[in-house]
Amino acid sequence: MHTLTKLPYAYNALEPHVDARTMEIHHTKHHQTYVDKLNAALEKHPSLQSLSAVELITDLSRVPEEIRTAVRNNAGGDANHVMFFTMLGPKKGGQPVGKLAAAIDAAFGPFEEFQKKFAAAAVGHFASGWAWLSREAGGKLLIETTPGHDSPIMAGRTPILVLDLWEHAYYLKHQNRRGDSVTAWWNVLDWQQAERNFVG
Ligand code: MN3
């Protein structure tokens, strides 16, 4: 059975950047639902139940066709939310560190330029989805967005940063202003974890 990953901070810990009510509903309702639906999809497939959500989305071809869409959506939903939530925290924000800082500089220019490019991709993405900084197998850094709960992992890339673009992630506080939620996100982003994702 897949279970809801506990957050390493309280729901109000990211105030004022992300409000407590949004955090609580996002985690206990939205994220929980993906975990529940993933368990339901795997109910009749015991051989797949020991695989983690990340393992499931890494190779969806081994998932039977009749549950593949459900696993793609809900293992993707679980894996993406675990990464998203555990890369946030109080007293975070600031700038990239270590090898990732140098790589972002080389690929996108100064940090402020990277922020502009990332925000433009996030705001420009149509409908629900996720914005990412990811690394191709050859090492190249890429800003990309994915629809639904798709992940760069499904295309063989390594996610470094992830931002939830679904309205449920920001609507209570920011309504239609997705750009404001991107601005807020920089203040709670854990760059130490991003560096660990980058160096592997
Ligand atoms: Mn979400």
Query: Three-state SS for 159?
Result: strand
Query: Three-state SS for 42?
Result: helix
Same domain, 130 and 42: no
Q: Could you tell me if residue 125 is inside a domain?
A: yes
pLDDT at residue number 40: 98
Percent of the residues in the chain that have a pLDDT greater than 90, as a whole number: 100
Same domain, 112 and 173: yes
Same domain, 109 and 169: yes
> Separation of 26 CA from ligand 1 center, angstroms?
6
Domain boundary among 63, 86, 109: 86
Same domain, 32 and 74: yes
Residue 107 has pLDDT above 90, yes or no: yes
> Separation of 91 CA from ligand 1 center, angstroms?
22
Residue range 161-197, pLDDT digits in tens? 999 999 999 999 999 999 999 999 999 999 999 999 9
Same domain, 122 and 157: yes
We report the CATH number of the domain holding residue 124 as 3.55.40.20
> Separation of 147 CA from ligand 1 center, angstroms?
12
Same domain, 81 and 104: no
d(CA 151, CA 158): 9
Mean pLDDT of the chain: 97
> Separation of 169 CA from ligand 1 center, angstroms?
5
Same domain, 161 and 78: no
Q: Could you tell me if residue 119 is inside a domain?
A: yes
Q: Could you tell me if residue 92 is inside a domain?
A: no
Q: Is 126 exposed, middle or buried, given 0-12, 13-18 or 19+ CB atoms closer than 10 A?
A: exposed
Average pLDDT on 115-137 reads: 97
Average pLDDT on 11-28 reads: 98
Q: Could you tell me if residue 71 is inside a domain?
A: yes
DSSP assignment of 95-147, as one string? ---HHHHHHHHHHHSSHHHHHHHHHHHHHHS-SSEEEEEEE-TTS-EEEEEEE
pLDDT at residue number 158: 98
Same domain, 106 and 183: yes
Number of domains in the chain: 2
Q: Could you tell me if residue 76 is inside a domain?
A: yes
Residue 13: closest CA among 196, 190, 195, 197 = 190
Domain boundary among 62, 86, 110: 86
Same domain, 105 and 194: yes
Q: Could you tell me if residue 194 is inside a domain?
A: yes
Q: What are phi and psi of 157, to 5 degrees?
A: -100, 160
Query: Three-state SS for 93?
Result: coil
139 neighbors 117 (Cβ within 8 angstroms): no
Same domain, 114 and 166: yes
> Separation of 31 CA from ligand 1 center, angstroms?
7
Residue range 60-69, pLDDT digits in tens? 999 999 999 9
Give the domain extent around 65: 20-86
Residue 200 has pLDDT above 90, yes or no: no
Q: What is the widest separation between alpha-carbon atoms in the chain? A: 51
Same domain, 110 and 161: yes
- Confidence class of residue 49 from pLDDT cuts 50, 70 and 90? very high
Sign of CA dihedral 61, 63, 66, 67: negative
| Identity of the residue numbered 71 | V
> Separation of 185 CA from ligand 1 center, angstroms?
13
Same domain, 114 and 181: yes
- Which two structure tokens, joined as six digits, stand for 147? 């629809």
Domain boundary among 86, 114, 136: 86
d(CA 20, CA 102): 34
> Separation of 170 CA from ligand 1 center, angstroms?
9
We report the CATH number of the domain holding residue 30 as 1.10.287.990
d(CA 173, CA 136): 34
> Separation of 20 CA from ligand 1 center, angstroms?
14
